Amino acid sequence: MRSSPVTNRVVSPALAFAIAALGIGLFSMMDAVMKSLVLAIGVYNALLWRQMISVGLGAVAWKLGKSGRPSGRALKLHLARGLVTTAMAVLFFWGLARVPMAQAISLTYIAPILALLLAAVTLGERVGWKTFVASIAALGGVLVVMIGQGREVPEPETFHGTLAILGSAVLYAVNLVIARLQSQAARPGEIAFFQALVITATLALAAPWLVVVPEAAQLPKLILAAGLATASLWLLGWAYAHGDTGFLATTEYTSFVYAAVLGFLVFGERVSAFTLAGAAIIVVACLYAARRRDIAQTSIEASA
């Protein structure tokens, strides 16, 4: 059992895990909707208009959550995570429009191991030889996925999309550490609102040059994507406030199943044997490295 410093409520690890898994499921559905939007109106406008709707939904979640005013520490974490997430999202959705969903998701699975290494480098956390072995194995899994991509003679844009996904995964590792800190300093509704606000404000800086008003036919998709993203963020924020990061991060791997199914049903994408093998290697490596570890515990203590 674990209690949250924010809510002082004790919940079972199984409940925290189930809520996190549900959050990942909703986020995977949002990925499919966003891929459709990116193909229709471009990555910038898909993100900007979705985030503008998310600000309104996040405000409702913040109000219903009765969070009150955020603390100074929470505001710094909201800003940091919002900026990291903006860059992460642009890279991910740009790449997702050029790479099959299952393949893109499998490449992001290196994030948990990167988060472990990041905690060691920036926070002085101890990392044993098992983590380094797992890191090498995960890299091997990435190479397997890319070899499979090479055998299919991909277009240059597909390769560039893969590089964008990998860049997004690096930022996602940073996001995982900040998310743990953030969940200890603020309630889920507050997190949903301020993250949407920071991302929207950041994207709006380029609006004079890039913004295009979407057609009315795209509005339902934008509302759906915003709703799924807000609900997912709220659920994940609640789960990470009540469970260890190393334990809950394993729910990320359920997204491969969602991505494979949604990619096939919505976009007619098929999962290659190389993608399956590479994803399996990466998942096993991450589980091996993250076993019984809380990747952000040191950072929580250091920032107190």
Going by C-alpha positions, the residue among 258, 276, 256, 260 that lies closest to residue 268 is: 260
Q: Against a cut of 0.85, is the pTM above it? A: no
Please report, for residues 75, 84, 85, 290, 294, the alpha-carbon distance to residue 80 in angstroms, rounded to integers and kept in the order given: 9, 6, 9, 24, 21
In this structure, is residue 299 part of a structural domain? Answer: no
205 falls within a domain: yes
Q: Give the integer Cα–Cα distance in Å for 131 and 171.
A: 19
For position 57, what pLDDT does the model report?
83
Measured in whole angstroms, the distance separating CA 36 from the mean position of its chain's CA atoms is 18
In a domain, 4, yes or no: no
| Residue 300, in any domain of the structure | no
pLDDT tens for residues 86-131?
999 999 999 999 888 988 888 888 877 787 777 677 656 666 666 6
Is the residue at 286 inside a domain? Answer: yes
With bands split at pLDDT 50, 70 and 90, how would you rate the model's confidence at 194?
confident
Examine the pLDDT at 235 and tell me if it is beyond 90.
Answer: no
302 falls within a domain? no
Residue given tokens 């991060």 in the structure block: 249
Instruction: Decide if 262 is inside a domain.
Output: yes
- pLDDT tens-digit profile of 130-182? 666 776 777 777 778 777 766 665 667 788 898 999 999 999 888 877 877 78
Residue 290 burial (C-beta neighbours within 10 Å; 0-12, 13-18, 19+): buried
225 vs 40: CA distance, rounded Å: 14
Domain tally for the chain?
1
Structure tokens at 281: 């290697």
Full domain range(s) for residue 68? 13-209+217-291
Q: Is 176 left (phi over 0), alpha (psi -120 to 50) or beta?
A: alpha
Q: Would you state the pLDDT for residue 29?
A: 93
297 belongs to a structural domain: no
Is the pLDDT at 39 greater than 80? The verdict is yes
According to the model, what pLDDT value does residue 295 have? 42
Average pLDDT, the chain: 80
Q: What is the pLDDT of residues 46-90, one digit of tens each?
A: 999 999 998 888 788 777 766 677 888 889 999 999 999 999 999
Instruction: Please indicate whether residue 298 or residue 270 has the higher confidence score (pLDDT).
Output: 270
**3-state secondary structure (DSSP) of residue 304:** coil
